[in-house]
Chain A
Amino acid sequence: MVKSAIAKRRPTSAAARRNPKSETRNRQSAIALDTSSFPGPDDITRVVLPNGIIVLARENFSSPAVVFEGSLLVGGLDEPKAKAGLARFTAACLMRGNERRAFAEIYETIESIGARLTINGGTHTSGFGGKSLAEDLDLMLSLAADALRRPTFPPEHVEKLRGEIMTGLAIRAHDTGAMASLAFDELLYPDHPYAVSDEGYPETIAAITRDELMNFHKTFFAPKGMIITIVGAVKAQEAVALVEKHFGDWAASRPERSPLPPAPRIPEVRRRFVPIPGKSQCDLMIGCVGPQRSDADFLEARLVNNIFGVFGMYGRLGDVVREKHGLAYYAFSQITGGLGPGPWQIVAGVNPKNVELAMELIVKEMKRLIAAKVTAAELADNKSYFIGRLPLQLETNEGVAGMIESMELYGLGLDYLRRYPAMISKITRERAQAAAANYLDPERYAMAVAGPEH
């Protein structure tokens, strides 16, 4: 029926594909909403275990399900450039066998109960998450703990995975979106870890040894800074007790991570074209270094970005590139920063003959966003959207868990959702414009295009 592996057989839709998902994640609050029903300090249990693990739990007995979402302070930033892909490769190995269960048993156990358990390596952090019936939470956390704490890196599975990653990289080399993104990061972040792909490259993946994977795990996977959020049909105290049972005696520690180097603005326009012959469409990516979550104008930047390339059907960019000129099925803008200053990027898929026109239009819109304040109506609409969206975002256990996880990871405070409407309401046209100008620069940006010659 509906299975993610068969993406092509999904219904076709007007706007669903390649929506700027990451942008819609942390919005909330409503001027008219009763914010007291949102997760807050009075109904989120937060406990710090002696080994540094932060446990957050919120009860929801409306369905028999439970989800957990967690992160550890380990990622691509901990790997040397020559070993690009090491952190993700390591994370992928964790579900391949551990001291208590072999691969087949791990997945037979998870899939037999219709549950899901995943571990993914990222840049700053590695994430893990699961979903199951509430009665299976104990089992699920024991599986997660075994994976994170006691992996055995079975040699045959390391090689199986290596082959799968290499196949994935071969597919990536012919994927216009992925290749535009790789080139874009290299242009925008010279001499910075963000220029390096977390997935790695064929030559680095080929060279990573099992010992290096094991050593990476031993060195960097540790409880301090780990966050786990549990939301669903489990009493909060019980959820905390289960985390304590499975992770409480984890005593590993990791070396301090050196601070992320600065990511200065690039001094000029930098363009690169990645030829991928035989394709029908080019993907293009344009942008600048954006804010990180802790920047004072982060919410302003998000709001103005929403006006620029999200609101309605891709905001102003959608109006111009898609609606007026009919150039692209998708043309949107997104802010990707979190623990570090990720790019503020505009993404579009266009016919090769329209690449130049689309770029011109996008840069023109970037100029307009900086040169003139957004209109009062745009500001009001987008504030209303940011605030009004919250009930939908908090409808599911996943939505609530993701929100709580972000509040903890970015140090926003457990009362963040309750304060949020007031913070959004305070944003002015001037502050929105200033945030745009603080990051976007139509004279200094990176631009990458991948696809057939245009």
Chain B
Amino acid sequence: MPKNGVFKTRLKNGLTVILREMHVAPVTTWWVWYRVGSRNEPTGLTGASHWVEHMMFKGTKKFPAGVLDKAVSRDGGLWNAMTWLDWTAYFETMPSDKIDLGLRLEADRMAHSLFPPKEVESERTVIISEREGHENEPMFQLSELVRKAAFTVHGYQHETLGDMADLRVMTRDNLYNHYRTYYAPNNAFAVAVGDFDAKQMLKRIKELYEPIPRGLPIKTFARPEPPQKGERRVTVEGDGETAYLEMVFHAPAAADSDFYPMVVLDSILAGASSFNMFGGGTSNKSSRLYKALVLTELAAGVGGGLVASIDPYLYSIVATVRKGRALEEVERALNAEIERAIDEPITEAELAKAIKQAKAMFAFSAESVTNLGFWYGFAEILDSYEWFENYIDRLSAVTIDDVSRVAKKVLGKGNRTVGWYQPR
């Protein structure tokens, strides 16, 4: 039975299916999510999940390379894929009468991607180029190093793109093995949101996906990060004239009840987060950190980021040092705000504002089926699709005391890593 319009079931081969009808526009989105991301990659294979994602665009027998993308484009579709810490996801958003192509395509490449050796080699240089493009950005360099310092054990320690050393030597067999291990219906789930009839959709999904054999049981790759004992500091010296400061703290996982007070705290410190797929939302000029760092002319910009993840990840604050100011000054001002967040309770007004912001942005999220498909899937990876549906209720239940307690737990000096990007 659908609950709040959402229907969830599991096929015989273990594939979970989540369906939500939405008849606002003649558009449907189809997502297939795999429970594999950069966290699953041991040393030597960093970047494998992302590279496999690229290889999934290199064709199957049925849809040879170059045919897939043209087929989707021809029908006016939008498609892409994403690799992140805990997951890899693929989607097609199409005019509803064309979505069958997306269903067929994802069913086919769940099991039949070819990984032609020549294509693996050609993609190696494309991915190296992708990484080099990121390396051009000082913030990428800093963030990569900060993350490596913050995690000593957990697979969250490396960039999703992978280390250059591994990108140079990983083989086709490594990648294909990664694919065969993790791309199986019992390690995946699918989400459809849009203008369709759920019964018919489920019937079609069964036709296409149930014949795909279940894979071997998958052992979760988890190396829990031990508690941090003391502040860590790293420095990158690089090109440019601009200095950057990044401060990260080990933060609660998405399914942890402390995650919600952390969302409120982030909202108060650095501004509210958006429910638009990747960005948008409101500005952060009334946030505490903007006032303390930017209005005081120490920084040219500041932002905060809380990542919803399966295991505890990082809460990060990033500031761009204003021309003519020093990293020390910015860090001092940031420390004062962190201490204030630990020592003083937030106000009722701040709490109410954070909740109202979240409510408005949650309402905006329902406009695009692609966006909803993302959120249902993202929530399912973290916990259950209901995580998304209950988000506002859980957030609304947060108290001032909760926020104080979580601020003390998370923002302590011993739990943080501080990174400086210093122009040479």
Contacts and interface: CB of A to CB of B under 8 A. Distances in A.
Contact of B121 (A112, A131, A326): A326
A13 B83 contact: yes
Contacts of A375: none
A164 interface: yes
Contacts of A388: 74-77, 95, 98
Interface in B80-139: 80-84, 93-95, 97-98, 121-139
Interface stretch (B166-174, B205-213, B233-241): B233-241
Interface string A196-216: 000000000000000000000
B121 A1 contact: no
B129 A327 contact: yes
B359 A114 contact: yes
B412 interface: no
B367 A1 contact: no
Interface stretch (A317-325, A334-342, A404-412): A317-325
A448 to B, nearest CB: 16
Interface in B263-295: 263, 270-287, 294-295
Interface in A101-124: 103-104, 107-108, 110-116, 118
A326 B357 contact: no
Given A385-B76, A388-B75, A388-B98, A14 B53 contact: yes
Interface stretch (B11-19, B175-183, B299-307, B333-341): B299-307
B124 A326 contact: yes
Contact of A133 (B95, B285, B306, B360): B360
A63 B361 CA distance: 12
A359 interface: no
Interface in B300-325: 300-308, 316, 318, 320-324
Contacts of A270: none
Nearest to B38: A12
For this complex, into which size category does the number of interface residues on chain B fall?
35 or more
B27 interface: yes
Contact of B274 (A2, A322, A323): A2
Of listed B242, B353, B360, residue having the most chain A CB within 10 A: B360
A446 B370 CA distance: 39
B191 interface: no
Given A13-B81, A111-B271, A170-B241, A396 B368 contact: yes
A7 B303 CA distance: 10
Given A167-B300, A326-B121, A174 B359 contact: no
B68 to A, nearest CB: 8
Contact of B122 (A111, A326, A387): A326
A157 B122 CA distance: 51
Interface string A264-282: 0000000000001111110
Contacts of B304: 3, 5-6
- B-side interface mostly: mixed
A176 interface: yes
B358 to A, nearest CB: 7
A2 B129 contact: no
A382 B295 CA distance: 49
B57 to A, nearest CB: 6
A21 interface: no
Contact of A384 (B76, B318, B368): B76
A1 B307 contact: yes
A440 interface: no
B132 to A, nearest CB: 4
Given A116-B280, A327-B125, A328-B129, A396 B367 contact: yes
Interface residues of A, number: 89
B422 interface: no
Contacts of A451: 136
A375 to B, nearest CB: 12
A163 B284 contact: no
B161 interface: yes
B5 interface: no
A30 B75 CA distance: 9
B124 to A, nearest CB: 7
B201 interface: no
A388 B72 CA distance: 10
B222 interface: no
Given A8-B139, A112-B357, A174 B239 contact: yes
A394 interface: yes
A11 B275 CA distance: 15
Contacts of A132: 360
A160 B106 CA distance: 51
B26 to A, nearest CB: 5
A64 interface: yes
A395 interface: yes
Given A114-B358, A388-B98, A394-B25, A6 B76 contact: no
A33 interface: yes
B239 A395 contact: no
Contact of A392 (B27, B271, B363): B27
Contacts of B27: 391-392, 395
A63 B366 contact: yes
Contacts of A33: 95
Nearest to A384: B74
A389 B121 CA distance: 33
B282 A329 contact: no
A10 interface: yes
Given A170-B240, A388-B76, A394-B25, A4 B281 contact: yes
A19 B240 CA distance: 26
Contact of A116 (B65, B123, B282): B282
Contacts of A221: none
A104 B295 CA distance: 10
Nearest to B361: A114
A168 B316 CA distance: 22
B143 interface: yes
A164 B318 CA distance: 15
Given A173-B241, A319-B66, A115 B122 contact: no
Interface in A250-309: 276-281
A171 interface: yes
Contacts of A374: none
B26 A391 contact: yes
Interface string A327-371: 111100000000000000000011100000000000000000000
A168 B297 CA distance: 14
Nearest to A174: B240
A285 to B, nearest CB: 15
24 contacts: A2-B279, A3-B271, A3-B273, A5-B271, A5-B302, A10-B279, A16-B80, A17-B130, A37-B26, A65-B367, A110-B286, A111-B285, A114-B361, A132-B360, A311-B73, A323-B66, A329-B130, A381-B73, A385-B76, A388-B76, A392-B76, A392-B93, A395-B25, A397-B367
Interface of B: 24-27, 50, 53-54, 57, 65-66, 69-70, 73-78, 80-84, 93-95, 97-98, 121-140, 143, 160-161, 238-242, 263, 270-287, 294-295, 297, 300-308, 316, 318, 320-324, 353, 356-361, 363-364, 366-370, 424
Given A391-B27, A397-B367, 11 more contacts: A2-B273, A6-B316, A7-B139, A12-B83, A111-B284, A114-B356, A160-B295, A278-B239, A279-B135, A281-B132, A311-B73
Of all A-B residue pairs in the complex, the 7 with the closest CB atoms, nearest first, are: A388-B76, A5-B303, A114-B360, A278-B239, A6-B305, A312-B69, A326-B125
